[in-house]
Amino acid sequence: FRMEEAPSGVDLGENYRISDPDLATRMSYFIWGLPPDEELRSIATEGRLSNEEELERQVARMLEDPRSEALATRFAAQWLRLDDLDKVHPDRLLYPDFHQRLADELRRETELFFSNLVHQDGSVLDLFTADYSFMNERVARHYGIDGVIGEDFRRVEYADENRRGLLGHASILTLTSVAGRTSPVLRGKYVMEVIMGTPPPPPPPGIPTLEETEGAADGRMLTTRERMEQHSRNPTCNACHSFMDPIGLALDNYDVTGRWRIRENGMALDTRGELYDGTPVTSPGSLNDALMERPTVLVRNFTQNLMAYALGRRVEHYDQPTVRSIVRNARDDDWRLSSFVMGVVNSDAFQQQRAGALADGADRE
């Protein structure tokens, strides 16, 4: 636990601004996942973090420091649920080239991608539109990309619009699959819940799973889409699936391990669908284009997740004015990542504490 002592004269339950040393500790664990370094401690001891310019200078310094990779290995991993990658074990008979070392390196690709965004102070929208990633030879070979040799990861650019951004990362595509097949439902739910922050309601009790749907008809194996269409004929199921399925089907050209494919069970894939507002989507590229028509939804959700991580608690309804303010300021700053981090650090929720309460974020250490 991280204890923060209230100043004298503050009544129990009253909000107060935390001391500069306590603020330095919050900043350091938020950005670095570590205690403050000597420079930050010294400035805090001198009371200089109360100066807005000095506070901004320290945040910028911390983001440029290699230790800010914690925002990738801790925050991004938590937000994107990268730990779930360890729960999916693709069928070795169907995917013999997939193994634990590759899984670890696919996760590392996503961490390095986010870490680069931090160090370059890029636009948060690059998370969804970037035409590059970070690969070593094994990861590049998995994607069918030539010319990458060796174990070291390096930035690799590609022209394929279907591989752009996080939704082209095999780490995410694998953790939203099951062992023997893709799961458009899981992928659609993931995009709605993790990327957009609009989770669908849980299924009502007694609804059969997709695995209970017939897997063959007319002497052939059905595609995942055909089985889903059977499953969603139930009006109770269709209410939610009409939102999730078009999103997940747009990603169905990626197999369980995130490799590109055009057929399933010998049948050409049909990935056509319409989003809830009638927007047609047929591919990962068109899905990304549709998402970018609603950038505020994406950045608001990113802000809420970043703020929750920094505070060590859920973002509540009374935090929403702060979230909206951070988003507005970031928009005016070309959505640069530092603007989001600075917005969180400058917020009352981050700089204040209620007398008698444990420090926000204590459960994260």
Predicted confidence at residue 359, as pLDDT, reads 52
216 & 253 share domain: yes
Q: What gap in Å lies between CA 88 and CA 256, rounded to an integer? A: 9
60 & 84 share domain: no
8 part of a folded domain: no
- CB of 245 closer than 8 Å to CB of 251: no
Predicted confidence at residue 209, as pLDDT, reads 57
Give the domain extent around 350. Answer: 15-64+295-364
Q: What gap in Å lies between CA 65 and CA 56, rounded to an integer? A: 14
Q: What gap in Å lies between CA 86 and CA 97, rounded to an integer? A: 16
- CB of 283 closer than 8 Å to CB of 290: no
Predicted confidence at residue 354, as pLDDT, reads 79
49 part of a folded domain: yes
Predicted confidence at residue 353, as pLDDT, reads 86
Ranges of H-type helices in the chain: 20-31, 38-45, 52-64, 70, 77-79, 100-120, 126-129, 137-143, 170-175, 184-190, 224-231, 235-250, 284-292, 295-311, 320-332, 337-346, 348-351
- CB of 262 closer than 8 Å to CB of 294: no
DSSP one-letter code for 328:
H
Q: How many CA atoms lie within 13 A of 198 on its CB side?
A: 14
Coil, helix or strand at residue 304: helix
Given 263, 290, 317, which residue is the final one in a domain? Answer: 290
CB within 8 Å of 236: residues ≥ 6 apart: 204, 207
170 & 74 share domain: yes
Dig out the tokens for 17 from the structure. 């601004």
pTM for the full model?
0.89
Q: pLDDT tens digit string along 289-308?
A: 999 998 999 999 999 999 99
Predicted confidence at residue 276, as pLDDT, reads 87
Which burial class, exposed, middle or buried, applies to 250 when counting CB atoms under 10 A from its CB (0-12, 13-18, 19+)? buried
The angle formed by the CA atoms of residues 104, 288 and 174, to the nearest 5 degrees, is 25
Given 246, 263, 290, which residue is the final one in a domain? Answer: 290
| Domain count across the chain | 3
Coil, helix or strand at residue 133: strand
Q: What gap in Å lies between CA 32 and CA 65, rounded to an integer? A: 9
Predicted confidence at residue 19, as pLDDT, reads 94
Predicted confidence at residue 2, as pLDDT, reads 58
Dig out the tokens for 283 from the structure. 């591919």
268 & 311 share domain: no
127 & 206 share domain: no
Predicted confidence at residue 267, as pLDDT, reads 84
Q: What is the mean pLDDT of each run of 10 residues along the chain (365 residues)?
A: 60 79 97 98 97 97 98 98 97 97 98 98 97 98 97 95 96 97 94 95 64 50 68 58 86 97 88 91 96 96 98 96 98 98 98 72 44
78 & 28 share domain: no
131 & 210 share domain: no
1 part of a folded domain: no
- CB of 117 closer than 8 Å to CB of 124: yes
10 part of a folded domain: no
Which burial class, exposed, middle or buried, applies to 20 when counting CB atoms under 10 A from its CB (0-12, 13-18, 19+)? buried
Q: pLDDT tens digit string along 155-182?
A: 999 989 999 999 999 999 999 999 999 9
- CB of 349 closer than 8 Å to CB of 319: yes
